[in-house]
Amino acid sequence: MINQNKRTAILHGTIVTPFQLLEDRIIIIEKGKIIAITDRKEDLAILKNVEIIEAQNKFIVPGYIDIHVHGGGGSDVMDGEYEAIKQVATTHSRFGTTAFLPTTMAMTKDKIIKSLKSIHEARLKGTGTAEILGIHLEGPYINPEKKGAQKEEDIKKVSVEEFLEFNQASGNLIRLVTIAPEMPGAIDFIRWLHQQGIIVSVGHSNATYKQVQEGIQAGLSQVTHIFNAMRGLHHREPGVVGAALSSPKLIVEMIADGIHLHPMVLKMLTQIKESEKLVLITDAMRATGFKEGTYDLGGQEVMVTQGQAKLKNGTLAGSVLTMDKAVKNLVTKVGISLLNAVQMASYNPAKCLGIDDKKGSLELYKDADIVILNKNLETELTMVAGKVVYRRKEI
Whole-number Å distance between alpha carbons of 221 and 177: 11
316 known member of a binding site: yes
In the chain, where does the domain assigned CATH 3.20.20.140 lie? 64-352
| 294, burial (CB in 10 Å: exposed 0-12, middle 13-18, buried 19+) | exposed
Angle between helices 209-218 and 186-195 (to 10 degrees): 30
204 known member of a binding site: yes
Nearest partner of 341 among 354, 326, 363, judged by Cα: 326
Whole-number Å distance between alpha carbons of 60 and 170: 34
Confidence of residue 362 (pLDDT cuts 50, 70, 90): very high
330 known member of a binding site: no
Query: Can you give the pTM of this predicted structure?
Result: 0.96
Residue 71: the pLDDT is 97
Average pLDDT over residues 274-292: 95
Contact 68, 353 (CB under 8 A): no
Classify domain 8-61+361-391 by CATH number. 2.30.40.10
Whole-number average pLDDT of the chain = 95
Average pLDDT over residues 135-158: 95
12 known member of a binding site: no
Q: Which CATH superfamily is domain 64-352 in?
A: Metal-dependent hydrolases (3.20.20.140)
Amino acid (1-letter code) at residue 223: V
The residues facing 223 across adjacent strands are 202, 252
Residue 291: the pLDDT is 84
Whole-number Å distance between alpha carbons of 295 and 191: 37
Whole-number Å distance between alpha carbons of 328 and 324: 6
Looking at the annotation, which residues are catalytic? 283
Stretch (H or E) spanning 65: strand 64-69
Q: Hey, what's the torsion of the CAs at 127, 323, 8, 350, to 10 degrees?
A: -80
Q: Hey, what's the torsion of the CAs at 32, 37, 39, 42, to 10 degrees?
A: -40
In the chain, where does the domain assigned CATH 2.30.40.10 lie? 8-61+361-391
Average pLDDT over residues 159-171: 99
Residue 382: the pLDDT is 99
Residue 39: the pLDDT is 86
